């Protein structure tokens, strides 16, 4: 028998099973009777095999490894030819799985053949396996990265966004829902509905008690998942890992740095229930259409790529909100508009970041109509040229967005400015001051933007985004106030 242990389902030849169900059956506990937090822990079992006193059920503490052993008791008398594991179990979790199997099967260590998903693909394949709270990225089977983003994170972010969108659409406050004892109930409801949308089982959101019903488009799903999917491309500056795209790009940079060569990737395989949500991000970065692989197919594959030494990197998302480049606080000489514009063009061509102080100065000047139009057109020309591939250009992008949020924009230029703001608004790895300028731009021009779908998505999504960010109370209050647009 060949065995694949994964999320949400595991496979033994033609049989499909879930580890959590086998465990609960063994201890005679109904899934419906356990708290939500315990359910989440059982779903994330493979991500947390090292944890002690993992769950508490019926006055008994179970370690994560205990749960795995209970779940696998059913194969005690089976002959296991091969065990296949997701890449994200590499390291100590694999050791724990091996020891559990030895205990159950009564075998010696060397009698159990354990392989990983990437061992079943060629050296020119990128293998991505999506777990409950982790995703593994294997480049050629000899370079493995694990990031702390999984199916749970996508469902949690999307469900929370839908909930915040509901509050905004219905003009209901969190405080009033808490007083009525409805907040937790509605939040769970939106997570459940969000999961059905992401898994393509529905495209409708409905809360009958509040007479709220609407359809969710594919474009809305795409935008709402940008805090996790990200918009980073290969070749861009990645100061920190904030999402899936920056993690993939960072893994590629790490591979080049360690191996002193570019990885040759001719094929991409994605394994997991929400593999379709990773498709666009992966295809954009590599320019290759990925293949979505059913985990059961892994049982039929033969081992073709078995390395003795694997470079292993564990990545965690973080966001510090700081500017990518510190700009010296140098005074700009008071000169005429034409002279300042000439200096700005010269600095921009030379990639001299001190030019951003000229943008700040021009923003604060009392420009006439002609000068203002010329200034805005100059900024638009600059953002067409500037990219996130050059670290020296990022301060310019920051200051240009700040300028757009403060100056009066002529009606005939507004559409082009709006298109640029929309383009960068869903890049969640921008510095906090830039994100706040984007929100302020939306607040200032709320009357013009009210009917735009991206605007309706951005505001509640921003409230979702700040949940786990280390912000001051003043920063949180500014964002909440600016996004509570009626």
- pLDDT average, residue stretch 324-351: 82
Q: Which tens digits make up the pLDDT trace of 28-87?
A: 999 999 998 999 999 999 999 999 999 999 889 999 999 999 999 888 878 888 999 999
Q: C-alpha 339: how far from its chain's center?
A: 44
Distance CA(147)–CA(313), nearest Å, equals 9
Q: At CA 364, angle to CA 362 and CA 365, rounded to 5?
A: 65
More confident residue, 325 or 389: 389
Distance CA(78)–CA(288), nearest Å, equals 41
pLDDT score recorded for residue 307: 77
Neighbour count for residue 52 (Cβ, 10 Å):
10
The chain-wide mean pLDDT, for the chain, equals 92
Distance CA(278)–CA(163), nearest Å, equals 23
More confident residue, 89 or 330: 89
Cα atoms in the 13 Å half-sphere on the side-chain side of 403: 28
pLDDT score recorded for residue 416: 96
Residue 14, pLDDT > 90, answer no
Q: Cβ(194)–Cβ(155) under 8 Å?
A: yes
> Which residues are registered as beta bridge partners of 15?
12
pLDDT score recorded for residue 107: 67
Distances (CA, A) of 48 to 66, 93, 119: 12, 8, 23
Residue 127, pLDDT > 70, answer yes
Q: pTM, whole model, 2 decimals?
A: 0.93
Nearest to 319 by CA among 402, 253, 426, 246: 246
């Amino acid at each position: 028998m060949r065995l694949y242990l994964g999320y949400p389902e595991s496979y033994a030849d033609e049989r499909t099973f879930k580890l959590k169900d086998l465990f609960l059956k063994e201890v005679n506990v109904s899934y419906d009777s356990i708290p939500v937090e315990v359910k989440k822990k059982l779903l994330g079992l493979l991500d947390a095999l090292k944890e002690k006193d993992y769950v508490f059920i019926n006055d008994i503490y179970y370690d994560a490894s205990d749960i795995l052993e209970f779940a696998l008791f059913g194969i005690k008398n089976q002959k296991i030819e091969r065990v296949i594991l997701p890449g994200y179990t590499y390291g100590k979790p694999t050791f724990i799985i091996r020891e559990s199997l030895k205990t159950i099967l009564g075998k010696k260590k060397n009698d159990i053949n354990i392989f990983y998903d990437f061992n079943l693909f060629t050296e020119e394949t990128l293998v991505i396996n999506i777990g409950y709270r982790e995703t593994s990225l294997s480049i050629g089977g000899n370079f493995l990265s694990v990031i702390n983003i999984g199916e749970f994170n996508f469902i949690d972010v999307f469900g929370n966004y839908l909930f915040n969108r509901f509050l905004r659409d219905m003009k209901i406050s969190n405080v009033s829902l808490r007083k009525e004892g409805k907040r937790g109930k509605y939040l769970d409801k939106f997570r459940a509905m969000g999961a059905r949308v992401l898994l393509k089982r529905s495209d409708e959101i409905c809360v009958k008690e509040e007479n709220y019903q609407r359809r969710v488009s594919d474009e809305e799903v795409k935008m709402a998942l940008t805090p996790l999917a990200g918009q980073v491309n290969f070749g861009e500056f990645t100061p920190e890992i904030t999402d899936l795209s920056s993690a993939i790009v960072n893994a590629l940079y790490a591979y080049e740095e360690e191996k002193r060569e570019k990885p040759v990737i001719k094929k991409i395989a994605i394994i997991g229930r929400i593999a379709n949500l990773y498709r666009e991000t992966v295809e954009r970065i590599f320019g290759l259409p990925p293949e979505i692989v059913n985990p059961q197919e892994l049982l039929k594959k033969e081992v073709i790529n078995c390395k003795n030494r694997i470079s292993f990197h564990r990545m965690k998302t973080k966001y510090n909100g700081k500017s990518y480049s510190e700009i010296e606080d140098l005074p700009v000489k008071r000169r005429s508009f034409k002279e300042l514009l000439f200096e700005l063009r010269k600095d921009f061509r030379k990639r001299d970041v001190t030019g951003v102080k000229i943008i700040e100065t021009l923003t604060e000047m009392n420009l006439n109509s002609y000068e203002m139009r010329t200034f805005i057109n100059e900024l638009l020309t600059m953002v067409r040229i500037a990219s996130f591939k050059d670290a020296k250009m990022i301060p310019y992008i920051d200051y240009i967005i700040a300028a757009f949020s403060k100056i009066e924009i002529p009606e005939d230029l507004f559409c082009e400015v709006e298109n640029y703001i929309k383009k960068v608004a869903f890049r969640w790895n921008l510095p906090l001051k830039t994100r706040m300028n984007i929100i302020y731009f939306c607040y200032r021009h709320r009357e013009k933007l009210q009917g735009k779908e991206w605007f309706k998505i951005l505001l509640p999504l921003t409230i979702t985004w700040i949940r786990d960010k280390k912000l001051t109370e003043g920063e949180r209050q500014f964002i909440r106030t600016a996004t509570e647009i009626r």
